[in-house]
């Protein structure tokens, strides 16, 4: 049974990846780094439930195998279908938000990093449905960078997916989307949490303004 489920999950992953690329015409532009096998945390702007799907699908096949999206448990774990997609297809790390759950909500993320996985992370913590380009970053990404000082943090700006897949829509509209990958960032010495989060935000905003 597990073999059959694994086979079906693999086929589903292939179909979702192919569909995401074809429908959105996704372009991955590695502007500040190469698609290497270093352990990384890809952090991106968050305006759609399809963000992690598109980012994951835009990675080269060998990188996808070792890269896990971090997603909200209250959304991606609330139905059997979503649990199958998030856990079996994408091998996502599901974390509680707000006051849900007990203990350290970052514990599953820290365990994934300790195991050597790369991650897809959204430091805004929730989808940005405002007119502002970014919501304030939550402190979780600072604590991860502090706990794993050798981890490369890669800013990724996703364009157009909020229009291709607006709130309430389950299938994307055929609009071109671009993902711009920036230069690696690490926590510096005695850098404060506030300064570090500001530097991450500026790095991500810089990728939104790249002339490509």
The mean pLDDT of 50-74, rounded to a whole number, is 90
The values of phi and psi at residue 103, to 5°, are 75, -155
pTM of the model: 0.87
pLDDT at 92 over 90: yes
What is residue 189's predicted lDDT score, i.e. its pLDDT? Answer: 87
Task: Write the pLDDT tens digit of every residue in 141-200.
Answer: 999 999 999 999 999 999 865 454 445 445 555 457 889 999 999 999 889 999 999 999
Structure tokens at 69: 């999206």
What is residue 195's predicted lDDT score, i.e. its pLDDT? Answer: 97
pLDDT at 212 over 50: no
The burial class, CB within 10 Å (0-12 / 13-18 / 19+), for 167 is exposed
What is residue 117's predicted lDDT score, i.e. its pLDDT? Answer: 97
What is residue 102's predicted lDDT score, i.e. its pLDDT? Answer: 63
The mean pLDDT of 66-92, rounded to a whole number, is 90
Bigger pLDDT: 185 vs 62? 185
d(CA 73, CA 70): 9
Least confident of 108-117, 125-134, 191-200: 125-134
Domain over 2-208 is classified CATH 3.40.1130.10? yes
In the chain, domain spans: 2-208
d(CA 138, CA 146): 14
């Amino acid at each position: 049974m597990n073999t059959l489920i694994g086979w079906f999950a693999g086929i589903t992953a292939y179909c979702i990846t192919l569909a995401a690329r074809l429908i959105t015409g996704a372009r991955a532009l590695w502007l500040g780094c190469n698609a290497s096998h270093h352990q990384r945390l890809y952090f991106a702007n968050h305006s759609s439930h399809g963000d992690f799907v598109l980012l994951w699908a835009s990675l080269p096949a060998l990188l996808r195998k070792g890269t896990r999206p971090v997603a909200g448990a209250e959304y991606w774990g609330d139905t059997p279908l979503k649990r199958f997609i998030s856990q079996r297809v994408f091998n996502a790390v599901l974390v509680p938000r707000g006051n849900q759950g007990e203990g350290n909500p970052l514990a599953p993320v820290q365990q994934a990093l300790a195991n050597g996985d790369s991650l897809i992370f959204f430091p805004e913590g929730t989808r940005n449905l405002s007119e502002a380009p970014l919501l304030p970053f939550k402190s979780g990404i600072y604590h991860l960078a502090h706990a794993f000082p050798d981890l490369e943090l890669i800013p990724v700006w996703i364009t157009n997916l909020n229009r291709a897949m607006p709130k309430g829509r389950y299938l994307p509209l055929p609009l071109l989307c671009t993902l711009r990958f920036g230069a690696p960032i690490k926590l510096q010495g005695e850098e404060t949490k506030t300064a570090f989060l500001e530097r991450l935000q500026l790095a991500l905003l810089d990728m939104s303004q790249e002339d490509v």
